Structures are given as structure tokens and as C-alpha cells.
Amino acid sequence: MELADFIRAARGDVPADTLLKNARVVNVFTGEIQATDVAIVESRIAGLGDYDGRHVIDLQGRYVCPGFIDAHVHIESALVPPNEYARLVVPRGTTTVVADPHEIANVLGLEGIRYMLDMAKYNPLSAYFMAPSCVPSSDKETTGAALYWYDLQTLLHEEYVLGLGEMMNYHGVVNGQPDVLDRLRAFQGRVKDGHAPGLSGKGLMAYAAANIGSDHECITPDEALQKLELGMFIFLREATTARNLRDLLPVVNAHTNRRLCFCTDDRVPSDLMDEGHIDYMVRVAIEQGIDPVTAIRMATLNPSEYFQLHDRGAVAPARRADLVVFSDLRAPRAEMVFRGGQLVAQDGQAIPWVRPKPRPVLRSSVNVNWATTHLRIPADGQRVRVIEVIPEQLVTQARIEALPNHDHTLLTDPARDILKLAVIERHMATGRVGLGFVRGLGLRHGAIASSVAHDHHNIVVAGADDLSMLTAVQAVVATQGGMTVASGETVVAHLPLPIAGLMSDQPFETVRQQMDAVRAAARQLGSPLHDPFMTLSFLALPVIPELKLTDHGLIDVSRNEIVSLFAP
């Protein structure tokens, strides 16, 4: 729209396109609640006050706040692509997300990132992206792609790419590893997200000195305060697994609140549907005693400033009309959501929209070399290293167990909760298989398999017997990715994830049902865990201690070394 026309509308000389009458506007600049009307012209707010509108909506005193912003999310963790993710989170009041597509990047590299960029357009959600900084996350795993600084810099000119995604390789930064610094240099002058769990002292100082601007891995207020002191923004996280919000709220005060944001990192559809998204975090913060306007500001203005998205984050002239309408200031729940001036959700449901065709097509990403995929473990020793699950945590313990054997073959011992664990390379069909044992999944028989395995996303499978394991893996491969529960030759439950082996092509409601079904089936087989698939997917992540398994083999994470299955 011509600036002159927009100014004319702000002046009140021509009617607004949409007028929200009798609103109570949450002013994130002043902390006030303003009783006023909101005039919207095309995608933006023209003014607050007494205006005429062609289309008038009487809010009858309901509140209006800016659309919520998720400061850091891996959309893939919701198991649906960006368009479906929009349908899921927009009704919860989210109008902008900053996504790090590092899951799909580990599978499909730049092709995967471009798929996400493409699928993120034309939806009622502004999805911005950070270029994944750590693909692969480790040199002890096989991924579908590796992204070096010269790959990442091809994203610099993308309109929806804001900066460099979470720099998980904090050791690399602190130790001045050249390829890591190359990535930082490529994004000089752009926002760079951090990821430095527990880093403190000189290491943290070095990390901050590299101009990394945020962290979302804090678990205590003290840790958050230390990082705030150094100028980092802190994203308070409430993921499906890592739930840090309540613990961190004591860090919010009059001085610090401007540099605090909310993020979800990884949230599965059931949590997004049952609890909510950023709106849930706002409600929890308020319930825990944070002033409502401060909580809303942390969800809106603060991330808009951190990411320099100055066209949003407030209900003010010239800003985008990304708005949430709700009734209870102490527990905001979106009743209407406007995005760019359009009503995009009402009463918890997205208003259907039409996406232009054709959709981008992705190549097959589940490529297993069956010829070399054997699960048998020769009994070359008696005592083996076993990965021990710690419930609800990503860290594991290493223990040593003696296992039964038969015919020079090591056996599982479900009675002692010791299952076989395998990671089957699925990108390049190299035929690499990592084999080991795990304790704590609780399956008494059968097997569970998944093509979601952080961050390399090879196929990870655990089971009481090889046949069940192979059945599960075959089901995963058959749908080009998925999560499967099998018993013997029977597939008991299956969630297909044909998009990069990470995401479904079905509506999120279906995904949720399928996910409930695979979880329930795993529990049926004996697992006491709330979500054994989540646990399974992190057993293959070789950057979180203590003992993990990749297609390269068993990894002693602290020493960053491959170790033998057999204990000395």
C-alpha cells in the first residue's frame, strides 16, 4: 500500500478495512491497558482511537495483545511440516515463530531447509528461520548432509532467514575450532543463537565474546542470570521433555525482563493441543506471579527486538496487525487471532486457507542397505557396556552387565530389562549398523523403532528379539520413515513419517492419534515410560553424556570416543 494512503487512513480520512471496536489493548510499551478501537488497514495497524471501518468487529471489552512469538523452535519435532504446524499453533495465538530446521538439515541438507522455507510460506503464520549451525552435531555419526560455512552463507540473502541457529558446538567456539569460527564469521552482523547448557566462567565468557546473543538451555535462575549479565537474551523454554519455565521464572524482574523471551524448542502435537504453545507459557508465567503485561511482553516485544523484527511485537501504528483477542488478562486464551490484519483463527480453530500448488517434492530419504543390516552380536566377550536410561532425562549412565549367550551370539535379557539397541544408517545406504544394549526402556517383548533420532535421524530400534526389531525397522522403511511398535512379525502400531522420515503428511489430529497409539502400544509391551519414543530418539544423540549409540558404534560422550561394546 502506498505510504500516502496509509497515512490518510491513520489520519482518519478514509475508513479502515477492519475496525476492532471496544478493545482493551495491552500496551507493551507503557504497561497500560487502553480502552480504545484498533483500526487495521491491509496488513497493518493504522491507528488506535476513534475510527470508522468498512468491517467492524465489536470486541465488547475483550483484550487485544500482539501475536505471540516463539523465539526458538524445531518445527519438525511437532511431526508435521510448517503449513500443518501453522494450523496447530496459530489458533493458540502464535503469529510468528523463529525456527531452526536442523532436524531436516541433518537428513536433507540445504534441500531440506529450502523445503521448510517453501512450506512455511502462504500460511497464516510468519515463520522465520535460523541457519542450522551444527550439521552434523558430531563426527561420530552418519548424517544425510553436512553444512559448512559456504553452504550456510547461501541462506544469508533469504528473506526469511534471520541468522545463525543455536551454536550447540560450544566446545568448538570456546576452543576456537576453525570451521566453527568460519560459520560465526559468515553470519557477522546477524543474530546468532546460542545453546550452552551449564557453560559458565571463562568458557561462557569466550562463548559470549564470540557474539552469540541468546541461550535457551538454562535450567536455573542463577545460570540464566549469569548469561544475562553477559548480554545474552535468555529464552525460557517449555518443551515436551525439557520443561524449564517454572524453574526459571525467579529470574524475571524489572531490570531483566526486557531480555527474556519464551520458546518451545521441541513440542509434540499432543502438548500443543492439550496445553498450548507460547500462550501456555504466558499463562503459566502469570499464574506463577508475573505481571500479565510483562509476561505478554516477553512473548511479543522482546523477541521482536532480539530478532530485529521491528514490524511486529506491539499493537501500535505501522506495526503488523498480528493480534490475539482474549477475555481473561490473567489467563490469556486466544478467542480470535489476526495475522496481517486477517482473521486466521477463532475459538481454537484455524480458518481454512488455500495454499498455492504445487507443493515442493522431496526425494526419498530412507535408504537402508539391507545386505549388511544384521542385528546379531557375536559373543566376543562376557561383560558388555549397557546404556542405562534415566527416566525423563536426556543423559544416560553407562553400566556393565554380563549377558547370556547362545551359539556364540549375545542375547537380550528382558527379565532384567536389558534390550538390544541398534542404529541403522538410513541416509546413504552405507550399511553401517551400530549395535549395543539398553536398560530402562522396559519392553518385556517386541520392539520399537523410529526414524527420528537426534540429530542424525538414522533408524533407532530397541527390542527384546531380532525378529521384532527387523519387523519394526521394515515398517519404518516401508513408509519412508515413522515410529513403529512390532511384536514378532506383527506391526502393532505405526505412525508414518514420510517427509524426510521426520514428519507426517497427515493432519495433526491424525498424527496425534497415531502417536497416542504407538505410545500406548509400547506401554502395552511393558514400557513404564511416558513416551518411550522420545527416550529412544535421544539414546542415539552422541553430544549428551554418558553413553550413547550411533551407526558408528557405542560412544563415550565425555571422551568423545568410540568404545567397544565389550568391557575389559
321 vs 362, beta carbon nearer its own copies: 321
Among 30, 347, 356, 371, binds its own copies (CB under 8 A): 30
Q: How far apart, in Å, are the Cα atoms of 449 and each of 30, 57, 121, 258, 458?
A: 52, 50, 32, 43, 10
The interface mask with its own copies, positions 254-293, x = CB under 8 A, is: xxx-xx---------------------------------x
Binding of residue 60 to its own copies (CB under 8 A):
no
Q: Is residue 11 near its own copies by the rule CB under 8 A? A: yes
The minimum distance between CB 518 and its own copies, in angstroms, equals 45
**Candidate segments 205-213, 343-351, 470-478, 488-496, binder of its own copies by CB under 8 A:** 205-213
Closer to its own copies by CB, 11 or 374: give it. Answer: 11
Residue 286 makes CB contacts below 8 A (sequence gap 6+) with 292, 295, 330, 331, 332
The correct pick among 15, 21, 33, 34 for binding its own copies (CB under 8 A) is 34
* Residue position matching grid coordinates 497415531: 514
7 binds its own copies (CB under 8 A): yes
Helices (H), 479-526: 508-524
Nearer to its own copies, 186 or 525 (CB): 186
- Interface with its own copies (CB under 8 A), residue from 146, 156, 209, 400: 209
Question: What's the rounded Cα separation, in Å, for the pair 302 and 232?
Answer: 13
Query: Which residue stretch of 84-92, 227-235, 420-428, 442-450 sits at the interface with its own copies (rule: CB under 8 A)?
Result: 227-235
Do the Cβ atoms of 85 and 343 come closer than 8 Å?
Answer: no
- Report if residue 230 touches its own copies, rule: CB under 8 A: yes
CA-to-CA dists, residue 110 to 104, 128, 555, angstroms = 9, 16, 28
- The yes or no reply on residue 157 touching its own copies (CB under 8 A) is no
Please answer whether residues 477 and 487 qualify as being in contact, where contact means their C-beta atoms are separated by less than 8 angstroms: no
Query: Distances from the Cα of 410 to the Cαs of 129, 419, 566, in angstroms?
Result: 46, 11, 11
- Whether the CB-CB separation of 241 and 268 falls below 8 Å is answered with no
431 is a contact residue toward its own copies (CB under 8 A): no
* 308 lies in the site for its own copies, by CB under 8 A: yes
Omega before 352 cis (within 30°)?
Answer: no
Q: Is the peptide bond before 215 cis (omega within 30 degrees of 0)?
A: no
Least distance to its own copies from the beta carbon of 5, Å? 8
Instruction: Please state the closest distance from residue 319 (CB atom) to its own copies, in A.
Output: 7
Min separation Cβ 30 and its own copies, Å: 5
Residues in region 443-482 near its own copies by CB under 8 A: none
Amino acid at 540: A
**How far apart are the C-alpha atoms of 37 and 409, rounded to whole Å?**
75
Q: What is the spatial distance between Cα 36 and Cα 25, in angstroms, rounded to a whole number? A: 7
Of 31-39, 330-338, 371-379, 478-486, which part binds its own copies (CB under 8 A)? Answer: 31-39
Indicate whether 159 belongs to the interface with its own copies (CB under 8 A): no
Contact call for residue 530 and its own copies (CB under 8 A): no
Q: Which is nearer to its own copies, 205 or 390 (CB)?
A: 205
Residue 48 binds to its own copies (criterion: CB under 8 A): yes
Q: Which residue has the cell 553477559?
A: 230
Cα–Cα distance measured from residue 215 to residue 232, given in angstroms and rounded to the nearest whole number: 7
By the rule CB under 8 A, 26 interacts with its own copies: no
Q: Is residue 12 part of the contact set for its own copies (CB under 8 A)?
A: yes
Q: Is 208 helix (H, G, I), strand (E, B) or coil?
A: helix
Q: How far is the CB of 159 from its own copies (least distance, A)?
A: 12
- Asked if 40 and 46 touch (Cβ cutoff 8 Å), the reply is yes
Task: Print burial letters for 504-522: b (CB count within 10 Å at least 16), e (below 16).
Answer: bebebeebbebbebbbebb
Asked if 32 interacts with its own copies (CB under 8 A), we say yes
Residues in CB range of 177: below 8 A, 6 or more apart: 169, 171
| Residue 122 in contact with its own copies, rule: CB under 8 A | no
Tell me the per-residue interface mask from 165 to 204 with its own copies, x by CB under 8 A, - otherwise.
--------xx-x-x--x--xx---------------xxx-
Tell me how far, at minimum, the Cβ of 303 lies from its own copies, in Å: 14
Count of all residues that appear for the chain in the document: 568
Question: Is 363 one of the binding residues for its own copies (CB under 8 A)?
Answer: no
Contact residues for its own copies (CB under 8 A)?
3-4, 6-12, 27, 29-32, 34, 46-49, 173-174, 176, 178, 181, 184-185, 201-203, 205-206, 208-211, 225, 228-231, 253-256, 258-259, 293, 305, 308, 314, 316-319
